[in-house]
Amino acid sequence: MNQRNTLLLTVIVLKFLLQYFLIIPEYELHRDEYLHLDQGNHLAWGFVSVPPVTSWIAWLIHALGKGEWVVRFFPALWGALTILVVWKTVERLGGGLYACGLAASCMLFSVLLRLNQLFQPNSFDVLCWTALYYLLISFIASTDRRWLYGLAAVFALGFLNKYNIIFAAVGLLPAILLTSQRHLLLNKHIYLALLLALLLIAPNLIWQYRNNFPVLHHMQALAETQLVNVNRMDFLKEQLLFFAGALPVIAAGLFALCSHAAFVRYRLFFFTIVITLATFTYLRAKGYYAIGIYPVYIAFGAVYIAAQVRARWLRGAFVLLPVVLFIPLLQVAFPNKTPERIVTNPEPYRKLGLLRWEDGKDHQLPQDFADMLGWRELAAKVDAAYAAAPDPESTIVLCDNYGQAGAINYYSKMGVKAVTFNADYVNWFDLNQRYKHLIRVKTGGEREEEMKETGPLFATGYAADSVTNRFAREHGTVVFVFLDARVDVNARLEKEIAEERW
C-alpha cells in the first residue's frame, strides 16, 4: 500500500472512530431519527417531509437489528464517502499527497462530525452535492459524456433523498451561462442526461401528484413556524462556523478560481457559490442547508495552496489549523457533556447562539441535545400503561407529535404501534382494528384540560405517568389512560384523519 492510500485509510478509520466517541451514552437518538426509522416500516415513493431514500436505508437498519450503533453507522459512512469524493476531486484537479492530506484535514475536523452523527437526510445530501460537483469537474476535464450520465444519476439520487439538491442546480445553471462553459448547453448529452434524471425521479413526482403535493404543504408549514424565525445575518454567520478551520483554504480556492490559470475552465464554480448562498439567504434558509456547497472549494483551495506554498511551516499550519480550531468546538458542538454540565456552564453555548431554538428563544440546552433525551423513559411508561390495559389489542396509543410516536415504536418492548396526526403518521393508522381504549401521550402536562376534553368519552380516565427528565424537550409530557369508550373511537379517528390530511 502506497503512502497516499495509507493516509486515506487512516483518515477514514479516524472519521468512524470520532463519530462514535463524540457522543456520550446519556444521549439517545434524535427526535427526527425516530420518524425516519419508522418510515422504513412503511415503504413508499414519498413522505410528507422527505423523499424515499432515507426510508430505504431505515429498512436496511431494521434488517440489521436496528441497534443505535447501526443507526449511527450510515451517516458516518456517508461522511466518510464525502471525504473520499473530496480526495478524488483533489486528484482530478492535479493535487498530490499534501493537497489530499490538507483537504482531508479540513473535511475531517468540521461540522460534518456533528452532522454525520444523526440519521437524517442531511449527511447523504452533502455527499450528493459533493459528488455532483466532482462529476461536473470530471466532465469538464475529460469531455467524456459518461460523466454527464453519472451526474444525472447522482442528482436523481440526491433528489430522492432530499429536495434541497435542487438548489445545487439553481446555483450551477446561471453560473454556466455566465462563463465560457456555456457551450456545454449545446451538448446533446446534457439533455439526454436531464431526461435520465427525470425518469429516475418520476416515481416520486407521480407520488407527489397523487397525494396532492404534500411537499408544498410541508414547506408552507416550515416557512410559517420555523423559517420565519431565521435571521439572515445569523444564516451568514453560521456559514463561517461550519468549516471554520478551512476558511483560509476555501478563500484560497475562491481566489484561485478567479486568477489561477489551471482553474480557468472551472471558473463557473466561483459564481455557483455566490448564487447559491444568495438564494438561500433570500429564502431565509436554515444554515445547514448550505453545508454541501463547501467541500468542493476545499478541494480547489488545497490544490492551489499545494502549488503555491513551499515553506514547510506554512504548509503545516494550513493542515493543523482545522485541528486547532476544532478543539474549542469540541467543547460545545457535540453531545459529549452531560446536561447537568451544560446547564451549569451555559455561557460558551449562549455566545455561539446554540441555546436558541427554532422558536427564536434561548433554552437551557441546545435544541438538538434536548431532542435526544427522555425517549426511553417515555417508551417505558407507555409500555407499562399498555401492559396494564384490559385489552391491549383494542388499545390505540395516540401521540401529539412524530418524535413521541417514533420513539415509542422504536424502544417499545410490548410491540406498541403508536400513531399521531402529525407528519406521515396520519397515513399509518390501522382502522381495521376496533378500538375501545386509548393511551394518550400529551405534550405540556395539561392534565385537567385533557381530562375535561377526552375523559367524558370514556368510562374511566386517569394520568398514568409523565416524563420526568427535566432536560428533555418532552419534559412534562403526560401518559393518559382512557378505558371503555362511550363513543365510536374509529369513527372519530377517521374524521380527524380526513381533517388533518393535506
Rounded Cα distance between 52 and 63, Å, is 17
Sign of CA dihedral 17, 18, 19, 22: positive
Q: Which of 366, 400, 353, 360 is nearest to 225 (CA)?
A: 360
Q: How many CB atoms lie within 10 A of CB 105?
A: 23
User: Which residue intervals of 211-311 are DSSP H helices?
Assistant: 214-225, 232-242, 247-259, 268-282, 295-308
Rounded Cα distance between 79 and 60, Å, is 18
pLDDT given at position 82: 98
For residue 423 the three cell numbers come to 407528519
Strand, coil or helix: what is 7? helix
Are 425 and 37 in contact by the 8 Å Cβ rule? The answer is no
pLDDT given at position 234: 81
Angle separating helix axes 295-308 and 68-92, nearest 10 degrees: 40
| Cβ density class 212-250: b for 16+ within 10 Å, e for less | eebbeebeeeeeeeeeeebeeeebeebbebbbbbbbebb
Reported as a single tens digit per residue, the pLDDT across 173-206 is 999 999 888 888 888 999 999 999 999 999 999 9
Q: How many CB atoms lie within 10 A of CB 131?
A: 27
User: Which residue intervals of 389-446 are DSSP H helices?
Assistant: 402-411
Residues forming a β-bridge with 439: 397, 481
Which residues, in sequence order, are CB contacts of 239 under 8 Å at separation 6+? Answer: 277, 287, 290
Angle separating helix axes 121-142 and 295-308, nearest 10 degrees: 50
pLDDT given at position 9: 95
DSSP β-ladder status, 395-399 and 419-420? parallel
The torsion of the CA quartet 451, 453, 455, 457, rounded to 10 degrees, works out to -170
User: Which residue intervals of 22-116 are DSSP H helices?
Assistant: 31-39, 53-63, 68-92, 97-108, 112-115
pLDDT given at position 211: 87
For residue 314 the three cell numbers come to 506554512
Strand, coil or helix: what is 359? coil
For residue 460 the three cell numbers come to 374511566
The torsion of the CA quartet 374, 380, 382, 384, rounded to 10 degrees, works out to -150
Give, for all 502 residues of the chain, the pLDDT tens digit: 688 899 999 999 999 999 999 999 999 999 999 999 999 999 999 998 899 999 999 999 999 999 999 999 999 999 999 999 999 999 999 999 999 999 999 999 999 999 999 999 999 999 999 999 999 999 999 989 999 999 999 999 999 999 999 999 999 999 999 988 888 888 899 999 999 999 999 999 999 999 888 877 767 666 656 655 667 888 888 898 899 999 999 999 999 999 999 999 999 999 999 999 999 999 888 889 999 999 999 999 999 999 999 999 999 999 999 999 998 888 898 999 999 999 999 998 998 888 988 887 889 999 999 999 999 999 999 999 999 988 899 999 999 999 999 999 999 999 999 999 988 999 999 999 999 999 999 997 677 888 888 889 999 999 999 999 999 999 999 999 999 999 999 999 999 998 887 6
Rounded Cα distance between 404 and 278, Å, is 36
Where do the domains of the chain lie? 3-330, 339-370, 375-500
Are 37 and 71 in contact by the 8 Å Cβ rule? The answer is yes
Residues forming a β-bridge with 39: none
